[in-house]
Structure 1
């Protein structure tokens, strides 16, 4: 039976979705649902189908994005939900315009949930509940998720679950051994959780429905499930059936309850983090505000448990994939556990791509050793981010050490400059200290960009054009020639050629560039031009 899309989006976890485009189409009906992941799967979709995808099938092809979205619309698909930042960061402007023009809903769905989590409540409504009760059940489920997710304690949740099923409920959370049961003094509160866990893990006990087992314990029937997020187990939830009186429909509703409780537990654990949105905001203000009230900052930093009496070397990446579509609770947890606590640093991030690391300075060692230690941390943090976000490129600029609170902002600005200066020349991964920028600090100055390009192209562009036309290796020969200290024989040995071949190629370069390789000045200009090759490549690409 049909469900209206706007009503489906009230159910957890779809209630955490965001509308990317096509907001006027939320009154579309849902007859069925499915997953869109293979290149030809859009040929088999049905009218009024609610599709979900990771975007893998069109991750590197904006034309295919548009083609598939248009085809889904033409086939009468209800909507497309997508997990942003799994394989794509955003849709092309053409796709957004199309969806808005034709009222085709394009919906961000949170990454941390599996397909079953999204489909389970819809399946419950569509295939178990009768037509005349569907609206009442939908309202009941919406109220249920709102109550659980906005509860103040696990005791409140246990009591509410008891009211729904009219049987005792027990919740156990591993964190600080938290327990809640309702009724408070029922026999279920006296059951040893370890014995139930053993029975739950016993493969002889089968599942009554996904993730939920019916266990016989002391001649009583118990519905038992672990509370988990991905592979991590946070705790357990139990319904004390006594005589197995819950039917399949109620067990299915319990499955929805479980999904809501899992989200509440995840948020509860995240609220106990040491790294929070408040700390993130404070650190961003610290580096972005030009006027600093040091006394006010120190007072606020004490409340947030941030040590501003220490000095910091600041590192910045502008390649961060963190966006407003991410599950931010998940991001804060990752940064706290995998970055801040692990490497003893502070972090902050913005949605514009800036990710900032504050590495504390050890005043008992030299500045050189502090820079070395900071760079080693950044190398490890770089690997953590690549693994967590499944990305290949994640570069950093590192500032200089300055004492005091004012020095933190100065170090930050240098880190930004180091990143931006190097990024103009190198697309691949890099970690560059501001103090090691050298000539790139001058070359990255916008005021001299045109002069640099003209200078480099004067010598290198003719060589590149000749190599491309004749399939030759003049440019690589010139590179080896300078690497091996302008020695014809050393260059020839490295390239497995006769030294006369190298001489012939250098003569050809003389003709193309109108230089004399016997002139020290001409050789110097050739060598400098060669050093600017990354800059030339980027200008050619553009």
Structure 2
């Protein structure tokens, strides 16, 4: 955490110290003269510092004169207060608390003329000034307050005018870079050259977007944790040899502009320059995001047409995709990722309309009407995570985020030759399981693990014309996989087996009736005995009625299992002799394993 003020070294009255820079309580960096610099003006040549030497770096932005008893109600932060002590002439005991009161109101220093109304300042007052780092100054008797006011205020205004002039000049130079088609790197180069320090632009994840300066300085900035940690930075911060300015636009935090000078060579005007650079960087970043959003939508629209089978013949699709850097002229698999927590698990088809069930009725998702900005942000982060990971595994893959799902088309098994090498000009097949795991890890890292997604994987498609069917396979794998395994499921279409057929039943009530009619009392989950007998029945069917193997798996005595089989046949019928009944029982148990029906 940055201290409330940045204190200077103990300057003498002839050593005003460096230009002053202070982080004010309002969170903005303020410009003015340090107390040390004020003591260096000609009208204060005979002034003497008697206390609070550690506070010489305090900022003076204005001056005031104390000649009334209730001055505390009128003072303001960063003031140099001048007094003859007239209001305190009859109450010297008030001097003991005056320093603490002034320091509490953020004043820069107190200048006192002695001799006319006060003969001296009590030692306790000086001790308190030293403890608080609040400068106490004895003013020369032969200098009028108006002379001090005029000269110090003139110097302050000149300093601020010079800062504004230089900042405006830099701003115009940066704007010209943007108007000339320059990017973030050119802006950083310009600022680095103006300040003669290393400068870097970083995104919200502390990844360097552009950097200028010695490599070792850039590495230092990358490794530097900073005073803000992971919290959002909404104001400039000067921390040692680093100066950090946030890049904010439209209420969003786009990252940081950081200047680094290992010799503490940062000056007060550097803050304004970096603030202008941050403004220009925000303009560039939002412009890039707008262009990327348009391009992303164009790509997504075309991919949607491909998956809906309306993008044209294979040759035209391949040619169009080449312009996007996609390679669909090879064996590929379609992966569909959907956020968990939706009512139906159905994210809408590639044509943007709700997917339909077997009878053609829309499988509407009632949560669509209530999706807010938070849900859209999570969906965008899911798409970003998948895009990042897919690009690592297959730079020629197609990936796009739709309204409620992310679709990726990546190289699949079949692209490699007999020896496992990719075909000439082709890409090596992707390890789909590793890709899904990595996408989950990246998404969890950026979203704190608060949401999960399920993934469906299609069979291999050997041509663009087969992508429509592959997409539907992946969608089916998502829905059935989530029903079988719950949130975070990863399912391949070929591994669904009979569950593919069960999922085609559009009316869940019909499946519930089938389970109750087939299993009777064994369908209940609130009776431990029913659950136990159902487990026995399941293992019996899995072992093809092999009593010895079933007893071994369940750790039952042979006679105990024979007794249980008799009890099950009394409840369900002669399933050991009736193959059709065994099929019905097997299907009913499969339905019970499916979730979300």
Normalised by the size of structure 1, how large is the TM-score?
Answer: 0.51
Using a 3 Å threshold, how does the CA distance of structure 1 residues 339 and 164 change in structure 2: closer, same or farther?
farther
Deviation at 1:411, TM superposition (A): 1.8
- In 2, the alpha carbon distance for the partners of 1:358 and 1:121 equals 53
1:503-514 to structure 2, matched below 5 A, reads 503-514=562-573
Contact map agreement 1:315 1:396 (CA 8 A) in 2: yes
* 2:440 maps to which of 383, 388, 394: 383
Q: CA RMSD in A?
A: 5.6
* 1:462 maps to which of 518, 521, 525: 521
Deviation at 1:445, TM superposition (A): 1.8
Deviation at 1:122, TM superposition (A): 8.2
> How many correspondences in the alignment?
371
Contact map agreement 1:421 1:441 (CA 8 A) in 2: yes
Deviation at 1:286, TM superposition (A): 2.2
- In 2, the alpha carbon distance for the partners of 1:530 and 1:228 equals 57
* 2:390 maps to which of 339, 355, 360: 339
Contact map agreement 2:457 2:491 (CA 8 A) in 1: yes
Deviation at 1:242, TM superposition (A): 8.6
1:2-41 to structure 2, matched below 5 A, reads none
Asked if residue 282 in structure 1 is aligned to residue 333 in structure 2, the reply is no
Asked if residue 413 in structure 1 is aligned to residue 439 in structure 2, the reply is no
Contact map agreement 1:211 1:225 (CA 8 A) in 2: yes
Contact map agreement 1:212 1:224 (CA 8 A) in 2: yes
5+ residue gaps, structure 2, are 1-23, 30-60, 63-162, 200-211, 229-234, 342-372, 423-427
- In 2, the alpha carbon distance for the partners of 1:265 and 1:327 equals 24
* 2:244 maps to which of 221, 225, 228: 225
* 1:480 maps to which of 539, 543, 549: 539
- CA-to-partner distance for each residue in 1:88-137, whole Å, 9 max, x for gaps? xxxxxxxxxxxxxxxxxxxxxxxxxxxxxxxx998659xxx99xxxxxxx
* 1:212 maps to which of 218, 232, 238: 238
- In 1, the alpha carbon distance for the partners of 2:429 and 2:219 equals 49
- In 2, the alpha carbon distance for the partners of 1:224 and 1:175 equals 18
Using a 3 Å threshold, how does the CA distance of structure 1 residues 418 and 331 change in structure 2: closer, same or farther?
closer
**Equivalent residue of 1:318, what SS?**
strand
2:209 matched to which residue of 1? none
Using a 3 Å threshold, how does the CA distance of structure 1 residues 198 and 168 change in structure 2: closer, same or farther?
farther
- In 2, the alpha carbon distance for the partners of 1:303 and 1:502 equals 66
5+ residue gaps, structure 1, are 1-119, 131-160, 216-222
Deviation at 1:355, TM superposition (A): 1.3
1:293-442 to structure 2, matched below 5 A, reads 297=317, 300-319=320-339, 325-326=376-377, 334-344=385-395, 345-352=397-404, 354-361=405-412, 363-365=415-417, 373=430, 375-384=432-441, 386-388=443-445, 389=447, 390=449, 393-442=452-501
Contact map agreement 2:533 2:564 (CA 8 A) in 1: yes
1:25-104 to structure 2, matched below 5 A, reads none
Contact map agreement 1:359 1:374 (CA 8 A) in 2: no
**Equivalent residue of 1:357, what SS?**
strand
- In 2, the alpha carbon distance for the partners of 1:456 and 1:386 equals 38
1:74-223 to structure 2, matched below 5 A, reads 165=167, 179-181=188-190, 188=196, 193-194=213-214, 211-213=237-239, 215=241
Higher share of residues assigned helix: 1
- In 2, the alpha carbon distance for the partners of 1:422 and 1:372 equals 24
Normalised by the size of structure 2, how large is the TM-score?
Answer: 0.47
Deviation at 1:511, TM superposition (A): 2.8
1:245-260 to structure 2, matched below 5 A, reads 260=279
Deviation at 1:444, TM superposition (A): 1.8
Deviation at 1:462, TM superposition (A): 0.9
**Equivalent residue of 2:453, what SS?**
coil
- Bigger Cα Rg: 2
- In 2, the alpha carbon distance for the partners of 1:481 and 1:258 equals 73
Deviation at 1:349, TM superposition (A): 1.3
Contact map agreement 2:246 2:256 (CA 8 A) in 1: yes
- In 1, the alpha carbon distance for the partners of 2:198 and 2:501 equals 73
Structure 1, 416-425 or 166-175: larger mean CA deviation? 166-175
